[in-house]
């Protein structure tokens, strides 16, 4: 699978699965030996089981997610994708805004994901001009 297709699939699946809180749909995007770093100074999660652990724990804390995913920027086997989510986390309304740097294998599975994000109080939609929505097929 070409990286541009893999990045578009990542955007589509993360959007739909985050809003549906479907952990397994997200896990299927990752290679068995993937590395998933959710913050620069946290210990990365390893393999599909690590991805499953992180995503399931996050979804257990969240309710009513509204998610926006920006258009992928692809170079070689890597992509950068902005994302934005307004959620109720542990009964507190918050908004997350971040970017994921992704690396894909020849089958289009993620071998590496590095995230950087910020969190603010309240539920907010992206500002005008924020990333273009990922294309729907």
The three-state secondary structure class of 126 is coil
Whether pLDDT at 12 is above 80: yes
Burial status of residue 111 (CB atoms within 10 A of its CB: 0-12, 13-18, 19 or more) = middle
> By percentage, how much of the chain surpasses pLDDT 90?
88
Measured over the CA atoms of residue 59, residue 60, residue 61 and residue 65, the dihedral's sign is positive
Cα–Cα distance list, 21 to 17, 80, 126 (Å): 5, 22, 21
The label of the residue with tokens 């959007």 reads 15
Whether pLDDT at 134 is above 50: no
68-104: per-residue pLDDT in tens? 999 999 999 999 999 999 999 999 999 999 999 999 9
Q: Give kind and range of the element (H or E) at residue 22.
A: none
pLDDT at site 70: 93
- pLDDT interval class at 137 (50, 70, 90): low
Question: What is the CATH code for 3-121?
Answer: 3.10.450.50
Mean pLDDT of 16-26: 98
Mean pLDDT of 46-64: 97
Where along the chain do its domains lie? 3-121
Average pLDDT score over the chain = 94
Cα–Cα distance list, 19 to 4, 26, 31, 87, 130 (Å): 23, 12, 23, 10, 19
pLDDT at site 132: 61
β-bridge pairing 110-121 and 30-37: parallel
């Amino acid at each position: 699978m070409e990286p541009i297709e893999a990045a578009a699939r990542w955007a589509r699946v993360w959007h739909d699965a985050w809003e549906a809180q479907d952990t397994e749909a997200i896990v299927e995007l990752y290679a068995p030996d993937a590395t998933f770093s959710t913050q620069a100074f946290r210990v990365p999660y390893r393999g599909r089981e690590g991805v499953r652990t992180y995503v399931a724990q996050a979804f257990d804390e969240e309710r009513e997610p509204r998610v926006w995913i920006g258009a992928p920027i692809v170079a070689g086997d890597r992509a950068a994708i902005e994302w934005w989510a307004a959620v109720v986390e542990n009964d507190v309304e918050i908004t997350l805004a971040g970017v994921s740097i992704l690396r894909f294998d020849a089958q289009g599975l993620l071998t590496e994901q590095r995230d950087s994000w910020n969190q603010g109080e309240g539920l907010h939609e992206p500002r005008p001009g924020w990333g273009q929505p990922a294309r729907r097929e």
